Structure 1
């Protein structure tokens, strides 16, 4: 089945501060949820701070994602080109949203929003200083936010008949 031109042009950047917890998990979850719903979109993640440059995601992020069969990539910083490369830039929390809005080039084409604005306006809490249970809760929130984002962009999936 051919994808529409609009779908082919959807690209998403998930952003948090360090790109080792929320954003790499969000990237992996959004990619998988989109795939399971039949959408072929580009998804990446990055951090606004260079605290973990070159590092792999937090081991608790890796463990949580591994349980779901999801793959992750090492840290990458936000780049100026991202504001034109991606159609949507999704901030994990309001601090990162404000940072993104303050550094976005005036003529950038990306829509920059709090990811939670697609569902309940809640930020994704940073699980870094907590237990592994916080990472599980972030994973569940990313699943809900991924579905809400895709519902907004592509419409809600049609119910399937229960044959």
Structure 2
């Protein structure tokens, strides 16, 4: 089942259960997906493009969450945490630290990286491999640990 079909089913379920938060998030994601397909001039978008949109939405909320926490806006923090949890239901299973470690080490060997100067090369090679399955900041920390 594609993401759009899943969202439609979950939207119907959220309407029946009167789950306003979930309904709001689902509508927002559907809107983002439709806007992207219009922007690309396509009737439908690929799974990879869907994942990119979901990742972008999740990252925006995580960034906002940090801002609201530092500003002491607990009301908005709670709302965003609920939205993040709902969005994560649609993301692929996240990689464990061990799985990420293996991917990072093998990529460092693939691109023959030896120092922190090669960080960009490594990051650009790792990110497509873990798209949607790991946060960029986690990967960045691991790459930095392995490059001296």
TM-score between both structures, scaled by the size of structure 1: 0.27
- The structure that has the greater radius of gyration is 2
Question: Whose strand fraction is larger, Structure 1's or Structure 2's?
Answer: 1
Question: Whose helix fraction is larger, Structure 1's or Structure 2's?
Answer: 2
Tell which has more relative contact order, 1 or 2 (C-alpha 8 A, sep 6+).
1
